Amino acid sequence: MRRNPHPRPLSRKRERGEKLFLIVFVFLATALPALAADVRPDAPEADFREFNRRFAMAAYHYPRHGAAPLGLIGFDVYADAAVDRDFGDEDFVGTVLDDDLTGDVLAVVRVGARKGLPAGINIGVSYGRALETDIDLVSADLQWAILEGGLLAPALSLRLTGTRSMGSDVYDLDQYGAELLFSKGFTVLTPYVGAGIVRSEGSLESSLGRTFEDSQTRGVVYGGITLNLLLPKITVEVEKADVVQGAVRVAFGL
């Protein structure tokens, strides 16, 4: 059988997206561990609680995509970054972290993948890191389209997500969220908005021989827009819990 010497354009786009994903993943897995400001076991309890409340919202696994389902053959691979510009200005940073953050900025980066399933369901997983800290983040999400949307109709989805921290010897964060996500796709642009509640449970193994714990349930709102280029998809999102932060995602897929 004679082979086609010219690969299909779709195959070339998929290969490029997968290569970029692998490059970013290798960078995160090898370069970032060297950049670590450890969480201090001697942090005062009150400062730890303030740190946990602010950090948990900065580290939350926001969607950074619209509400429409990917479909049975659809998928995304992505890299994104969220920035809390004033995190390092807080008094608790000096007593909870053993080093300063560059420019007082807390940046959380992630790489991940989403896959479409039948019945309007998407599933996703991601790995992330809070840059210049020793805190890694593993997240998963499940999204179900209540309204799948179309040429004229908007999409509405219920999204559930969970995150667990790794890497730190003394600090742990477990987080669970539920949201409603609304979007309307156009030819090139997909604007979206969403709101939900987040349960965050943080703990610190203190050098004082105690375990400090902090639990909170907070509301989150967000809005963004995705630029649907042929290759890639670029999303800008604004996120609000206690403070406002911004995020950018670059994704490849179908």
The whole-angstrom separation of Cα 153 and Cα 6 is 38
95 falls within a domain: yes
What's the whole-number average pLDDT of the chain? 89
63 falls within a domain: yes
Low-confidence ranges of the chain (pLDDT < 50): 1-10, 13, 17-18, 21-22, 25-34
pLDDT at 228: 93
Give the three-class secondary structure for 22.
helix
- Compute how many other C-beta atoms are within 10 angstroms of the C-beta atom of residue 48: 25
pLDDT at 231: 83
pLDDT at 12: 56
The whole-angstrom separation of Cα 134 and Cα 171 is 9
193 falls within a domain: yes
243 falls within a domain: yes
Cis preceding-peptide flag for 232 (omega within 30 of 0):
yes
104 falls within a domain: yes
- CATH number of the domain enclosing 204: 2.40.160.20
| Helical residues (DSSP H) of 97-137, grouped into ranges | none
4 falls within a domain: no
Give the three-class secondary structure for 14.
helix
1 falls within a domain: no
Q: Which residue has the tokens 């354009």?
A: 9
184 falls within a domain: yes
**What is the b/e burial string over 191-202, where b = at least 16 CB atoms within 10 angstroms of the residue's CB?**
ebebebebebbb
pLDDT at 230: 76
For the CA atoms of 15, 142, 165, 135, the dihedral, rounded to the nearest 10 degrees, stands at 40
Which H helix or E strand runs over 27? helix 9-30
Q: How many domains does the chain have?
A: 1
The whole-angstrom separation of Cα 189 and Cα 192 is 10
Domain span at residue 132 reads 9-253
